[in-house]
C-alpha cells in the first residue's frame, strides 16, 4: 500500500489572529490534492481559532508541543487531552528547537510520545543531527539514538509520522540535496525495519524538513523514501500551497 503524502506546516512562535486567519482562508480557498494529508501547527493560543476557521476537510490541526501528563500543577504546559478538546488531531514532538533550546532529552520526548498516542493524538516525531554531528559522520548515530528512545516504549507506530530535520538546514536557507536526503531517509527506514519489522517500517511516513520551499519541494517529492515535508517559515507564506501541490 502506498504511503499517503503528508505536508505539515509548523508556524513556530509566529502569527496573530489576522495573519493566521489569512493563512487559513487561503487554504480553504485552495484546490488541494486529495491524496495529500495536510496538517498546520499554529501557536497553541490559536489552535481553536484555526480549527473554527477551517472549512477545507483535507486540512487538520496540530499542536507544537505537549506535556506527558493529563493535568496538574505544570504551569505553562499544555496537555494532550486539552489539545484534543481544542479540536487538534496531531502534535509535533522532539523538534530540534526544543531539544537544543529547552534541553528536552530523548527519554522525555519518548514519554511525551507515549502519552500523546494514548490520548488519541497522532505524533509528528522530529529527529535530526547538528552540523558538527553531520560533519563527523554521526547523522545516523544521532537519528537512531533519538528513535531508540521511542522504540523502547512504543511498538505500534501506525499513528507516528517521522520528520527528519537536519538541524543545520532549519531556517538557514540551506537544504540537503535530494540524493543526500533520500539516502538518510532510506537508512532510517532500514533501521526501523530492524527494530519494528519490515511490514511496519514500510508503512511509516518519513518527512523531510529543513528550508523546504516552493522551489525545491518538487525535487524531493520524487524520492521513494521521502513521504512529505514538515515546513517551517514557508508555511506562513502563499508558497505553502505550492509545496502541498509539489507532486502534481
Q: Which of 95, 97, 104, 129 is catalytic?
A: 95
- What residue ranges of the chain have pLDDT lower than 70? 1
Q: CATH no. for residue 139?
A: 3.20.20.70
Q: Which of 37, 104, 111, 165 is catalytic?
A: 165
Q: Which domain holds residue 184?
A: 5-244
Q: What is the pLDDT of residue 174?
A: 72
95 is catalytic: yes
Counting the structural domains of the chain, the total is 1
Which of helix, strand or coil describes residue 152? Answer: coil
**The C-alpha cell of 167 is what?**
538541524
Angle between helix axes 139-151 and 178-196 (nearest 10 degrees) is: 40
- What's this model's pTM, rounded to 2 decimal places? 0.96
239 is catalytic: no
Q: What is the pLDDT of residue 1?
A: 55
CA 63/CA 84 separation, integer angstroms: 9
Amino acid at each position: 500500500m502506498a504511503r499517503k503524502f503528508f505536508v505539515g506546516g509548523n508556524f513556530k512562535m509566529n502569527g496573530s489572529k489576522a495573519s493566521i486567519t489569512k493563512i487559513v482562508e487561503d487554504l480553504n480557498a485552495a484546490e488541494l490534492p486529495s491524496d495529500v494529508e495536510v496538517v498546520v501547527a499554529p501557536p497553541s493560543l490559536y489552535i481553536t481559532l484555526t480549527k473554527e476557521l477551517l472549512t477545507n476537510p483535507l486540512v487538520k490541526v496540530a499542536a507544537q508541543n505537549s506535556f506527558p501528563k493529563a493535568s496538574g500543577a505544570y504551569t505553562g504546559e499544555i496537555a494532550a487531552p486539552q489539545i484534543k478538546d481544542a479540536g487538534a488531531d496531531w502534535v509535533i514532538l522532539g523538534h530540534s528547537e526544543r531539544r537544543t533550546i529547552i534541553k528536552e532529552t530523548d527519554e522525555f520526548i519518548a514519554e511525551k510520545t507515549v502519552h500523546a498516542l494514548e490520548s488519541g493524538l497522532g505524533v509528528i516525531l522530529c529527529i535530526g543531527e547538528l552540523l558538527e554531528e553531520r560533519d563527523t559522520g554521526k547523522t545516523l548515530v544521532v537519528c537512531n539514538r533519538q528513535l531508540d528512545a521511542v522504540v523502547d516504549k512504543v511498538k505500534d507506530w501506525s499513528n507516528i509520522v517521522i520528520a527528519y530535520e537536519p538541524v543545520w538546514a532549519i531556517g538557514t536557507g540551506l537544504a540537503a540535496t535530494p540524493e543526500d536526503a533520500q539516502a538518510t531517509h532510506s537508512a532510517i527506514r532500514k533501521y526501523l525495519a530492524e527494530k519494528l519489522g519490515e511490514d511496519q517500517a514500510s508503512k511509516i511516513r518519513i518527512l523531510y524538513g529543513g528550508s523546504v520551499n516552493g522551489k525545491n519541494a518538487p525535487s524531493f517529492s520524487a524520492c521513494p523514501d521521502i513521504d512529505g515535508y514538515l515546513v517551517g517559515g514557508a508555511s506562513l507564506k502563499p508558497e505553502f500551497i505550492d509545496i502541498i501541490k509539489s507532486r502534481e
